[in-house]
Chains A and B, each alone.
Chain A
Amino acid sequence: MEASKKYVVSTDYLSTTHGALGCRTCHKGNDVYDKEKAHEGLVVRPSANPEGICADCHKDVVDTYQHSLHSTTAGIKKVLGELAYPHTYENNEQLAEIYGQDCSKCHATCGDCHVRRPDSIQGGLFAQHQFSSDAPIEETCWGCHGARNAGEFIGNINGMAALPDVHYKNGMKCTDCHDVANFHGDGTPETAMYELKNLPSCTDCHMEIYSENSSIEAHKAHDPDTMSCQVCHSIPNNNCYGCHVKAEGGSEMQSQLQFKIGRNVKPDETRPWKYVVVRHIPTVADMLDAKEKGLLPNYDATANWKMSPSHNIQRVTPYAKDCTRCHGNEKIFLTEKDLRPDDSKANRDVCVTEIPPAY
């Protein structure tokens, strides 16, 4: 990416509230006309310190955000901790080091979403330093979630062209469905995505789909608890195999577009479905062996086929054109035949053992 697309500041920005503070109020450095001297003591990411300059004016937001998954990466920490049990971050230095070196880098600062691109897409200012509360997906969300939900939503899975989500094609953005609390949190410490209280649901907008007024026969034929909307309305999602830890000796990662329906292993009031679309997560039992052998003794307790809230929704999909595409069609269900030798044994709970009968 050209430097002018990363480091140029617009003159319009200088007259905004943030711009009026002056560059050095946030970024330090020196006001001299020499690049090296000007950048001595430069603070590239002023919002990296959660108690820093953003909190002086936006304390309520910063206080809330500090407990969110985007800030803490507690979701990754929790799952890695479960795989490593009985090792813990307190009693195993290697585990703590791995989390600190790799996993915690997914932490997003205020600036990562509101003024700059994430490092994974080479950073830099996405709108010449104008702050935005509604930044373009391609410049922010996609930078971190481009291999899965954001990539599938906009039809660009890490550079691979795909059919975009029907909502995106009709001009919708992440923030049209996701409340700000989904990004900033609500102030309570979060440890898993599905714990969030206000995640969007299709029925927030499509309220009539299961009512008597529905004109869709398939909606009338199925109980609302039978399956998630994605089972009929999503297309193949991106599945990653191997390991995404870039350590010497780590297994090579592969990705593959697939469509698999599995069992919902944790049905609850919000997600009561029996069948859900699933996605393979890139973990293998020996993925941390380069650091320490046997660091994940509890690997087989957590499935690496997970429920996928696939974001590539289409009104009509190949899998929902008629009853026979699903009923009696074992190929689209996750079964034991699909499991790889290095997969977690917990995947058996996700596998469908009784295929819905053909009519």
Chain B
Amino acid sequence: MRKLMPKLILVSSFLFALLLVVFMQYGQTEQAVVGANYDPLPSENCVKCHTNATAITALTKEGATMTGGG
């Protein structure tokens, strides 16, 4: 058993390291999918209006009622 211990520790360390690499890689892939293609374009002014219901109402002329489709 004593002879086997170093080997067991070596194998389990290797497996642990392998799992760690796999999980890290998976996390990076998820991040890459979301962010890699895009550098968000500045949109502060869009947000200023579109999060403000009063501003939207003031800037838009609407007034119809809801109807359904076919």
> Do B62 and A3 touch (CB < 8 A)?
yes
B70 within 8 A of A: yes
* CB within 8 Å of A: which B22-70 residues: 33-34, 37-38, 40-53, 56-57, 59-70
Asked if A8 meets B43 with Cβ closer than 8 Å, knowing A3-B60, A145-B69, the reply is no
A151 within 8 A of B: yes
> Do B46 and A143 touch (CB < 8 A)?
no
> Do A24 and B68 touch (CB < 8 A)?
no
> Do A122 and B40 touch (CB < 8 A)?
no
> Do A38 and B45 touch (CB < 8 A)?
yes
Q: Of A14-22, A210-218, A224-232, A310-318, which stretch is located at the interface?
A: A14-22
> Do B47 and A14 touch (CB < 8 A)?
yes
Assembly CA distance A118 to B66 (angstroms)? 11
Residue of A with least CB distance to B46: A23
How close is A7's CB to chain B, nearest CB, in angstroms? 5
Assembly CA distance A22 to B41 (angstroms)? 6
A158 within 8 A of B: yes
> Do A23 and B47 touch (CB < 8 A)?
yes
Residues on the B chain within 8 Å of A145, using CB: 69
Q: Of A29-37, A294-302, A350-358, which stretch is located at the interface?
A: A29-37
Residues on the A chain within 8 Å of B61, using CB: 3
Assembly CA distance A23 to B64 (angstroms)? 27
* CB within 8 Å of B: which A120-163 residues: 120-122, 142-147, 151, 156-159
> Do B70 and A31 touch (CB < 8 A)?
no
Assembly CA distance A118 to B68 (angstroms)? 10
Residue of B with least CB distance to A253: B70
Residues on the B chain within 8 Å of A11, using CB: 51
Assembly CA distance A145 to B69 (angstroms)? 6
Per a CB cutoff under 8 Å, which of B43, B45, B50, B65 touches A7? B50
Residues on the B chain within 8 Å of A121, using CB: 66-69
Interface centre among A21, A118, A143, A151 (most CB of B within 10 A): A21
Residues on the A chain within 8 Å of B66, using CB: 1, 121-122
> Do B57 and A29 touch (CB < 8 A)?
no
Assembly CA distance A7 to B41 (angstroms)? 20
How close is B28's CB to chain A, nearest CB, in angstroms? 15
Assembly CA distance A252 to B62 (angstroms)? 29
Assembly CA distance A157 to B47 (angstroms)? 37
Per a CB cutoff under 8 Å, which of B57, B68, B70 touches A2? B57
Assembly CA distance A42 to B70 (angstroms)? 29
How close is B49's CB to chain A, nearest CB, in angstroms? 7
> Do A4 and B67 touch (CB < 8 A)?
no
Residues on the B chain within 8 Å of A143, using CB: 68-69
Assembly CA distance A147 to B48 (angstroms)? 39
> Do A29 and B69 touch (CB < 8 A)?
no
Residue of B with least CB distance to A141: B69
How close is B18's CB to chain A, nearest CB, in angstroms? 27
Residues on the A chain within 8 Å of B50, using CB: 7-9, 23
Nearest 10 pairs of A and B residues by beta carbon: A146-B68, A120-B69, A22-B40, A3-B60, A24-B41, A23-B43, A4-B53, A23-B46, A158-B68, A22-B43
Q: List 15 A-B contacts (CB under 8 A).
A: A1-B65, A2-B57, A3-B59, A10-B51, A20-B40, A21-B38, A22-B43, A23-B43, A25-B40, A33-B45, A35-B59, A142-B69, A143-B68, A146-B69, A147-B68
**A interface with B by C-beta (< 8 Å):** 1-4, 6-11, 14, 17, 20-25, 27, 29, 31-33, 35, 38, 56-57, 118, 120-122, 142-147, 151, 156-159, 244
A sample of 20 more A-B contacts (CB under 8 A), given A121-B69, A146-B69, is: A1-B64, A2-B62, A2-B63, A3-B56, A4-B53, A8-B52, A8-B56, A9-B47, A14-B51, A23-B50, A24-B41, A31-B41, A31-B45, A31-B46, A32-B45, A33-B49, A56-B37, A121-B66, A147-B70, A156-B68
